[in-house]
């Protein structure tokens, strides 16, 4: 975890990106001393009145107290938000009624301090499962946050980290009905990363004016092309949360938006997918122990969803991941992973490329296969695998990382 001073991932971006201000969003990142010492571990994001919010959450049947609370508040407030609170260190998952009460206590404190309805306060918690969350250090942290100055995007992104070796963020702009709007997103995640949801917390903010229902549809769709297409270890967290807020500080010109399919949203939709893919790839790049980023393209499948499942079967396979770690062009393991995915496939039509080099075509190795250019590609930091299933037009792109000794070292003594 961050406290261990793990070396920065070799796949990390060189620098933290520049994120412009978003009107209607004020960030406060503070230290509570709850579990980590000497670092910011609490983020409070204050949002302009009438901010819209949408959420996508873990599909775990063991959701954390914060996930329960977010789901309830999304319904109760009909997609409105006044604040988001994030604590790092304690997941407040599998903590029973006491856990639910602790989350409520902290959110009520935020609501009272800001004079907003409690169902407009959202919470996310990340860290160890099964330990009780003590509200006291958090409420002290909130008081300190509210009396202090606003924090930078970088400090906000750092405050939500746990085992992450670098803070993750991205930003894009888009034209929307005569305005230029901005989308910023910060995220954390490096282990317990699997799709539905990729285990992560991510918080997006835009100054666009979007009704909650439209915002939710845009978020769900973009999540399928980003967070739900990234995997580190196939383990799905109890706490995965992606929230997207639209402060509405740049009001639309023209008639109101009623549907996510409104053609005026085309550029915004594209920018949102780009922001979310950017941070999702950063999460894969910070996979625990990761030394190589895998980009997996699956084409020719029955449909896009089936293609994504095959891509994830490849990206999750320990044998594929260790082959990538070992820079071994052992493409037979890719065949194995396609075969185990359970998706319909025709062995005798399957083709595989690695780094653009055809290694297998229509059910067997290509004639005169020369492994040297493939082996050279695999010695790089970025490994590209392309599989054509040969049965349809569905396609998907998935990101994953290799499986190394570093993953074992980090996870065999994570908690102690």
Positions 255 through 314 that interact with its own copies (CB under 8 A):
none
According to the binding rule CB under 8 A, does residue 104 interact with its own copies? no
Binds its own copies by CB under 8 A, chosen from 17, 33, 118, 234: 234
Residue (267 or 336) nearer to its own copies, CB: 336
Which stretch in 80-88, 89-97, 118-126, 211-219 sits in contact with its own copies by CB under 8 A? 89-97
CA distance 260 to 270: 12
Give the DSSP letter of residue 303.
S
**What is the contact mask toward its own copies in residues 42 to 71, using x (rule: CB under 8 A)?**
----------------xxxxxx--------
The alpha carbon of 20 is separated from its chain's Cα centroid by a whole number of angstroms, namely: 21
Counting other chains too, the contacts that 377-380 makes at CB distance below 8 Å and 24 or more residues apart are 378/324, 378/327, 378/328, 378/329, 378/354, 379/327, 380/292, 380/355
**What is the contact mask toward its own copies in residues 170 to 199, using x (rule: CB under 8 A)?**
---------------------xx-x-----
Ramachandran angles phi, psi of 273, nearest 5°: -60, -40
Cis peptide before 113 (omega within 30 of 0): no
For its own copies, the binding residues in 374-403 under the rule CB under 8 A are: 403
- Rounded to the nearest whole angstrom, what is the least distance from the CB of residue 225 to its own copies in the complex? 21
| Token pair belonging to 101 | 């009460």
According to the binding rule CB under 8 A, does residue 101 interact with its own copies? no
- Rounded to the nearest whole angstrom, what is the least distance from the CB of residue 109 to its own copies in the complex? 23
Residue (37 or 348) nearer to its own copies, CB: 348
Pairing of strands 25-30, 382-388: unpaired
* Contact in structure between 144 and 163 (CB atoms under 8 Å): no
* Contact in structure between 36 and 234 (CB atoms under 8 Å): no
For its own copies, the binding residues in 346-365 under the rule CB under 8 A are: 347-348, 350, 360, 362-365
- Rounded to the nearest whole angstrom, what is the least distance from the CB of residue 86 to its own copies in the complex? 19
Number of residues counted as binding its own copies (CB under 8 A): 71
Residue (256 or 412) nearer to its own copies, CB: 412
In the three-class reduction of DSSP (H, G, I as helix; E, B as strand; rest coil), residue 337 is classed as helix
CA distance 412 to 416: 9
CA geometry: angle at 69 spanning 66 and 73, to 5°?
140
Residue (93 or 383) nearer to its own copies, CB: 93
Helix (H) or strand (E) holding 278: helix 266-285
- Rounded to the nearest whole angstrom, what is the least distance from the CB of residue 12 to its own copies in the complex? 22
Give the DSSP letter of residue 78.
T
- Residues linked to residue 172 through DSSP beta bridges, in sequence order: 183
Residue (183 or 410) nearer to its own copies, CB: 410
Binds its own copies by CB under 8 A, chosen from 31, 94, 134, 220: 94
Give the DSSP letter of residue 305.
H
| Catalytic (active site) residue 199 | yes
Binds its own copies by CB under 8 A, chosen from 111, 129, 252, 274: 129
CA distance 188 to 167: 7
CA distance 384 to 299: 14
- Rounded to the nearest whole angstrom, what is the least distance from the CB of residue 61 to its own copies in the complex? 5
Which stretch in 71-79, 230-238, 250-258, 301-309 sits in contact with its own copies by CB under 8 A? 230-238
Binds its own copies by CB under 8 A, chosen from 3, 78, 98, 270: 98
- Rounded to the nearest whole angstrom, what is the least distance from the CB of residue 341 to its own copies in the complex? 8
Binds its own copies by CB under 8 A, chosen from 332, 373, 377, 392: 332
The residue from 32, 126, 165, 199 that is catalytic is 199
In the three-class reduction of DSSP (H, G, I as helix; E, B as strand; rest coil), residue 375 is classed as helix
Residues acting as catalytic residues? 199
């Amino acid at each position: 975890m961050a406290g261990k001073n793990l070396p920065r991932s070799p796949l990390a971006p060189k620098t933290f990106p520049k994120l412009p201000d978003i009107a209607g969003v004020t960030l406060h990142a503070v230290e509570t001393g709850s579990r980590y010492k000497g670092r910011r571990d609490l983020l409070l994001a204050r949002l302009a009145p009438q901010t819209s919010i949408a959420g996508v959450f873990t599909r775990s049947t063991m959701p954390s107290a914060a996930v329960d609370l977010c789901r309830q508040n999304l319904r109760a407030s009909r997609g409105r938000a006044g604040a988001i609170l994030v604590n790092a260190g304690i997941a407040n998952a599998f903590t029973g009624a006491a856990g639910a009460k602790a989350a409520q206590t902290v959110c009520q404190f935020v609501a009272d301090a800001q004079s907003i309805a409690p169902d407009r306060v959202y919470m996310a918690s990340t860290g160890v499962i099964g330990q009780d969350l003590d509200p006291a250090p958090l409420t002290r942290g909130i008081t300190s946050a509210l009396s202090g100055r606003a924090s930078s995007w970088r400090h906000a992104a750092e405050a939500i980290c746990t085992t992450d070796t670098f803070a993750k963020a991205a930003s894009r702009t888009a034209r929307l009905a005569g305005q230029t709007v901005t989308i910023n997103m910060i995220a954390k995640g490096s282990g317990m990363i699997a799709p539905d949801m990729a285990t992560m917390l991510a918080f997006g903010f835009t100054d666009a004016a979007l009704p909650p229902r439209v915002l939710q549809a845009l978020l769900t769709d973009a999540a399928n092309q980003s967070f739900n297409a990234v995997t580190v270890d196939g383990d799905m967290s109890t706490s995965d949360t992606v929230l997207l807020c639209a402060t509405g500080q740049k009001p639309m010109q023209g008639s109101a938006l009623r549907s996510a399919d409104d053609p005026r949203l085309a550029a915004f939709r594209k920018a949102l997918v780009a922001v979310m893919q950017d941070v999702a790839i950063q999460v894969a790049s910070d996979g625990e122990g990761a030394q190589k980023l895998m980009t997996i393209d699956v084409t020719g499948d029955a449909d896009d969803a089936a293609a994504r499942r095959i891509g994830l079967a490849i990206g999750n396979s320990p044998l594929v991941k260790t082959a990538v770690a070992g820079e071994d062009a052992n493409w037979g393991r890719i065949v194995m992973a396609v075969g185990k995915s359970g998706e319909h496939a025709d062995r005798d039509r399957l083709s595989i490329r690695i780094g653009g080099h055809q290694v297998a075509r229509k059910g067997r190795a290509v004639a005169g296969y020369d492994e040297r250019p493939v082996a050279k590609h695999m010695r790089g930091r970025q490994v590209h695998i392309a599989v054509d299933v040969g049965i349809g037009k569905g396609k998907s792109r998935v990101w994953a990382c290799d499986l190394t000794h570093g993953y074992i070292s980090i996870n065999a003594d994570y908690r102690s």
